[in-house]
Amino acid sequence: MNTSVPLLELRGISKQFPGVKALDDVSFAVYPGEVHMLVGENGAGKSSLMKVLCGAYRADEGEFFHCGEKVEIRSPADARKLGIAVIFQEFSLVPYLSIAQNIFLGREFSGRFPGTVDHARMHAEAKKLLDLLGLDVSTKTLVHELGVAQQQMVEIAKALSQQARILVMDEPTAALSDRETERLFTMIRQLQADGVAIVYISHRMAEVFSMGDRITVLRDGRKVASLLPGEATPDELVHLMVGRSVDRSYARTFCKTAGEMILEVKDLSSANGVKGINLTVRSGEIVGLSGLVGAGRSEVARAIFGADRVTAGEIRLHAAPHRGGPDKAVAAGIALIPESRKAEGLALIRSVCDNLMLPGLPLAFPNRLYKTSKARQIAGALIDRLRISTPSALRPVRLLSGGNQQKVVIGKWLGSGSRLFIIDEPTRGIDVGAKAEIFALIDQLVQQGAGVLMISSELSEIVQVCDRSYVMRDGRIAGHLSREQLSEESILKMGVHHE
Amino acid sequence: MNFATGTLRIGARAADLKTIAYRLAAALAICVVLTAASDVFLTTNNLLNVLRQASLLFLLASGLTLVILTAGLDLSVGANIGMSACIAASVIKLTGSAVLGAMTGVGIGLTIGLANGVLVALMRMPPFIATYGMLWVVHGVTYWFMAGTTIYGFPPGFRALGSGHFLGVPIPVYLMFVFLALGTFFAQRTTYGQEIYAIGANREAARLSGVPIAKRLILVYAVSGAMAGLASLVFLARMNSAEGDIGEAFTLPAIAAALIGGTSLFGGVGTVSGTLVGALILTLVLNGMNLLTIDASWQPLVTGVIVLLAVFFDTLTRKGEA
């Protein structure tokens, strides 16, 4: 099936971001009619590589070859000219336009008069593409009426209409049912037969081995292996994905005997795709909630906190049943440090003091009268305790660095009387020094008798920091690992699909 | 380091003070120009007249400011004035009691505000749509209620609310300063005020910090409605007559006063005192145009230019901080 010249070849690609080398000398080739699987744990560099491929990032170093000829990919337009199209997990379709309008958005066929559109031709061309993909829906259907799988087909049709010869797909089966997945695979095989090359990012071992013609493993921005499906077992592949020496920079004394029960979750399901969750957090322990991105970890946090609607199950706090929105949760002593500090954690235009005071307002001022001097005093103490680097408590928080912003997001809960801290990605986008400080702070919290439920995509963090961890997959708890069982490999084995 | 002592003032509140200082300077500049241009401007009578006109605008705009601070909007305040005034007027006529009428007026205003709050906070309608719909509904009910009639002639005790004086100063001016103090206290010195700013700055962050969003939103819309009810009484007492369409002309100037005063439609930025200065600037300019016998048909154009200038100025200064 392979001809000797790759359709696209990357040689020695590197991409540096402040503080992290996202891609380090990665070489990668994809041949016509080939499905090339790209695997690696969270943060291994898959997304960066994909963005370099589609021109969203510019590589710092490295060369590109198209059918053996040296080319440049400096912009999305360059990538499109070479026939590279990316199907992201988040679709870029316009919900209230028809299938045909979406496929030809911005490239409409002009009609007889300037400024008009030849609708008949547009629908005819769209119909041809849908027939090719085996999608039996009218081209006039509005996209928002379609299911996820069908929307994905429309994305693919759009890519093909732009003469795409290299399709990059980011976990295309993540949101599909078994039947839809089967249909997608049939379509992929058809495209293969037509000589289209497919770069396929996946966490599911079954499809990596059944669909892949070649597998490339990334780890920490480097290519660690490129092999054929027959050359490794799923377990060996997982080992390749992890296999790094563990960095022991946040050593802590683990909790030997946990205290009284703080949080008990029984059969919890939420409107946001969380199913039958059972978990507990006791005083004095840091409990991990790990798994791959998209496994539903943040959704569990939001359901416990009342930010998403709970559809079934029970939450007990200090043995008493708990129910209600975030205001009830905060009053009951739960703190949520959300995943996205800018969108969910901070009022960026307000001052450090205002942000630090917000959740603790009812506690600091029980009679509801706000005293500026008292607020400054409390905020000043928190700034000192957390060593937040700011010239003044009155500085707008948007002017702080990422690490200091994260300290504010955590610090604002220290004055709110919280006993349970749910921390979602505590170290996202901050440098190593701030990371160590934040873990020291979390350790302090549990020393003082709090319980912590910690979500992290960095498996090494879970392994180094947590007393034990739950592992999630597809919105469910896939398993539980004790301190002794915890390793990146054991988490990954539990978190990926084997079936 | 001086975190707690507050000797370093590079903060959001300092920015508020700066915003107000610039605007006061602008108001003073307008006064200087008008003093030079007109003999009548710098007389006690005229200045008190300006203050009295500004007071009505401020009473309406102060409640509206709280709504805008949450990144909301209340387009129904003018219609609210109409309905509150007309029903208060008929209660006074029926019962002869000014107190009962006044309570009814504020009560009607509050009820309309609560309805807005429920639409926005509980039924999750965009504020623009909810209060725009409310504007029409309230107008409609008022027109039906009045059926084209006019109610006029109220007891002197009631009329004093709009046209009376105490120590030579019009009563509404006292009301203006009372509500400036109350509004500023509420916004700056209660935890409710802090939470309202937080909602406007980042609603999701406020929600995830445990701020009861729905309760606070209902509160600000209710306050805005009650303030419209109060303003309607002042207006009714001044005009000594009520018709179905009074109040219609107030909505956009009230929004203008808040915007000129430095309140951001994106929420989280602004002060009640800024709105007072905004109302003063708007009133001064219109007063000056009257004194200089400039045709009244120019007033909308000038109002528009002032609003655009004020917002443009804020965009410039805030960009500098970012």
pLDDT tens, B213-227?
999 999 999 999 999
Q: How far is A408 from chain B (nearest CA, A)?
A: 12
B4 assigned to some structural domain: no
Please give the C-alpha separations between residue A447 and each of A256, A288, A296, A427, B15, in angstroms, as whole numbers. Answer: 12, 17, 28, 20, 40
For residues A249 and A427, give the distance between their C-alpha atoms in angstroms, rounded to a whole number. 14
Q: How many domains does chain B have?
A: 1
Chains A, B: CB contacts within 8 A come to: 127
Q: What is the pLDDT of residues B162-213, one digit of tens each?
A: 999 999 999 999 999 999 999 999 999 999 999 999 999 999 999 999 999 9
Q: Which residues of chain A lie closer than 8 angstroms to B197, CB-CB? A: 347, 350, 354
For residues A476 and B135, give the distance between their C-alpha atoms in angstroms, rounded to a whole number. 49
Which ipTM was obtained for this model?
0.88
Query: Would you say residue B109 has pLDDT above 80?
Result: yes
Residue A329 shares a structural domain with residue A415? yes
Residue A325 shares a structural domain with residue A469? yes
Of B68, B65, B70, B71, the C-alpha closest to B272 is B65
Cβ neighbours for A112, distance < 8 A, ≥ 6 positions apart = A118
Q: How far is B207 from chain A (nearest CA, A)?
A: 7
Determine which of A105-114, B55-64, B140-149, B272-281 has the lowest per-residue pLDDT on average: A105-114
Cβ neighbours for B28, distance < 8 A, ≥ 6 positions apart = none
Residues B57 and B257: beta-carbon distance below 8 Å:
yes
**Distance from CA of residue A36 to its chain's centroid?**
22
Q: What is the mean pLDDT of the segment spanning A87-109?
A: 87
Buried b or exposed e, range A339-366, using 16+ CB within 10 angstroms = bbbbebbbbbbbbbbbbbbbbbbbebbe
Q: How many domains does chain A have?
A: 2
Cβ neighbours for B275, distance < 8 A, ≥ 6 positions apart = B58, B61, B62, B64, B65, B257, B258, B261, B263
- Of A242, A272, A306, at which residue does a domain stop? A242
CB within 8 Å: A361 and B2: no
Residues belonging to chain B with any Cβ–Cβ distance to chain A shorter than 8 Å: 1-6, 8-14, 188-195, 197-198, 201-202, 204-212, 268-269, 321-322
A379 assigned to some structural domain: yes
Residues B267 and B70: beta-carbon distance below 8 Å:
yes
Cβ neighbours for A270, distance < 8 A, ≥ 6 positions apart = A299, A300, A302, A303, A308, A309, A310, A311
Residue B67 corresponds to which tokens in the numbers above? Answer: 């709504």
B7 assigned to some structural domain: no
Alpha helices, DSSP H, located in A359-431: 361-364, 372-386, 402-411
For residues A273 and A425, give the distance between their C-alpha atoms in angstroms, rounded to a whole number. 20
Interface check A338 vs B, CB under 8 A: yes
Residue A359 shares a structural domain with residue A472? yes
pLDDT band at A18 (very low <50, low <70, confident <90, very high): low
Nearest CB to A358; choose among B2, B198, B322: B198
Q: What share of chain A is helix, strand, coil (3-state, %, to 5)?
A: 35, 25, 40
Residue A320 shares a structural domain with residue A469? yes
Range of the domain at B216: 40-314
pLDDT band at B319 (very low <50, low <70, confident <90, very high): low
Interface check A408 vs B, CB under 8 A: no
B20 assigned to some structural domain: no
Nearest CB to A350; choose among B6, B197, B211: B197
What is the pLDDT, as a whole number, of residue A206?
Answer: 84
Q: How far is A297 from chain B (nearest CA, A)?
A: 17
Q: How far is B185 from chain A (nearest CA, A)?
A: 9
pLDDT band at B105 (very low <50, low <70, confident <90, very high): very high
Residue A387 corresponds to which tokens in the numbers above? Answer: 């060593």
Q: How far is B211 from chain A (nearest CA, A)?
A: 6
**Distance from CA of residue A137 to its chain's centroid?**
32
What is the pLDDT, as a whole number, of residue B224?
Answer: 98
B129 assigned to some structural domain: yes
Domain holding B265: CATH number? 1.10.3470
Query: Which amino acid does the sequence have at A304?
Result: I
What is the pLDDT, as a whole number, of residue B247?
Answer: 87
Q: What is the mean pLDDT of the segment spanning B109-131?
A: 97
pTM of the model: 0.81
What is the pLDDT, as a whole number, of residue A359?
Answer: 95
For residues B124 and B141, give the distance between their C-alpha atoms in angstroms, rounded to a whole number. 24
CB within 8 Å: B207 and A376: no
Residue A272 shares a structural domain with residue A220? no
CB within 8 Å: A394 and B190: no
- Of A209, A242, A275, at which residue does a domain stop? A242
Residue A340 shares a structural domain with residue A463? yes
Q: How far is A422 from chain B (nearest CA, A)?
A: 12
A249 assigned to some structural domain: no
Cβ neighbours for A479, distance < 8 A, ≥ 6 positions apart = A470, A471, A494
Q: Which residue of B has its CA nearest to A372?
A: B189
Please give the C-alpha separations between residue A109 and each of A104, A142, A155, B117, in angstroms, as whole numbers. Answer: 8, 19, 19, 48
Over its C-alpha atoms, chain A yields an Rg (Å, rounded) of 25
Q: What is the pLDDT of residues A372-422, one digit of tens each?
A: 999 999 999 999 999 898 888 999 998 888 888 999 999 999 988 899 999
Determine which of A115-129, A167-181, A225-239 has the lowest per-residue pLDDT on average: A167-181
More confident residue, A180 or B120: B120
Residue A357 shares a structural domain with residue A468? yes
Q: Look at residue B74 and give its three-state secondary structure.
A: coil
Residues 127-186 of A with CB under 8 A from B: none
What is the pLDDT, as a whole number, of residue B48?
Answer: 95
For residues A327 and A121, give the distance between their C-alpha atoms in angstroms, rounded to a whole number. 55
Q: Which residues of chain A lie closer than 8 angstroms to B212, CB-CB? A: 325, 327
Query: Would you say residue A246 has pLDDT above 70?
Result: no
Residues B57 and B287: beta-carbon distance below 8 Å:
no
Query: Would you say residue B2 has pLDDT above 70?
Result: no
Q: Which of B203, B209, B211, B319 to mutate to test the interface with A (most CBs of A within 10 A)?
A: B209
CB within 8 Å: A350 and B12: yes
What is the pLDDT, as a whole number, of residue A433?
Answer: 67
Q: What is the pLDDT of residues A158-196, one digit of tens each?
A: 988 888 899 999 888 877 777 788 888 988 998 899 899
B12 assigned to some structural domain: no
Q: How far is A464 from chain B (nearest CA, A)?
A: 28
- Residue A127: CB atoms within 10 A of its CB come to 15
Residue A236 shares a structural domain with residue A278? no
Q: What is the mean pLDDT of the segment spanning B80-89?
A: 97
What is the pLDDT, as a whole number, of residue B102?
Answer: 96
CB within 8 Å: B4 and A381: yes
CB within 8 Å: A351 and B12: yes
Please give the C-alpha separations between residue A258 and each of A39, A118, A287, A462, in angstroms, as whole numbers. Answer: 37, 70, 11, 18
Please give the C-alpha separations between residue B264 and each of A312, A328, B129, B195, B306, in angstroms, as whole numbers. Answer: 41, 30, 19, 16, 15
B218 assigned to some structural domain: yes
Residue A190 shares a structural domain with residue A269? no
B13 assigned to some structural domain: no
Q: What is the pLDDT of residues A123-133, one digit of tens each?
A: 999 999 888 88
Residue A267 shares a structural domain with residue A224? no
Q: What are phi and psi of B169, to 5 degrees?
A: -110, 135
Range of the domain at A488: 261-495
What is the pLDDT, as a whole number, of residue A250?
Answer: 62
CB within 8 Å: A349 and B12: yes
Q: How far is B117 from chain A (nearest CA, A)?
A: 19
Residue A64 shares a structural domain with residue A144? yes
Domain holding A324: CATH number? 3.40.50.300
B178 assigned to some structural domain: yes
For residues A144 and A162, give the distance between their C-alpha atoms in angstroms, rounded to a whole number. 22
Please give the C-alpha separations between residue B301 and each of A100, A175, B31, B296, B312, in angstroms, as whole numbers. Answer: 46, 55, 20, 10, 16
A252 assigned to some structural domain: no
Residues 340-399 of A with CB under 8 A from B: 343-351, 353-354, 357-359, 361-362, 365, 368-372, 376-377, 379-381, 383-384, 390-396, 398
Q: Biggest alpha carbon distance in chain B?
A: 68
Residue A399 corresponds to which tokens in the numbers above? Answer: 């002017």
Query: Would you say residue B101 has pLDDT above 60?
Result: yes
Cβ neighbours for A219, distance < 8 A, ≥ 6 positions apart = A40, A41, A44, A240, A241, A242, A243, A244
What is the pLDDT, as a whole number, of residue A243?
Answer: 67
Q: What are phi and psi of B70, to 5 degrees?
A: -90, 15
Q: What share of chain B is helix, strand, coil (3-state, %, to 5)?
A: 75, 5, 20
CB within 8 Å: A347 and B189: no
DSSP state of B118: I
A229 assigned to some structural domain: yes
pLDDT band at B6 (very low <50, low <70, confident <90, very high): very low
More confident residue, B289 or B10: B289
Residue A267 shares a structural domain with residue A237? no
What is the pLDDT, as a whole number, of residue A179?
Answer: 78
Nearest CB to A394; choose among B11, B202, B268: B11
Query: Which amino acid does the sequence have at B91?
Result: V
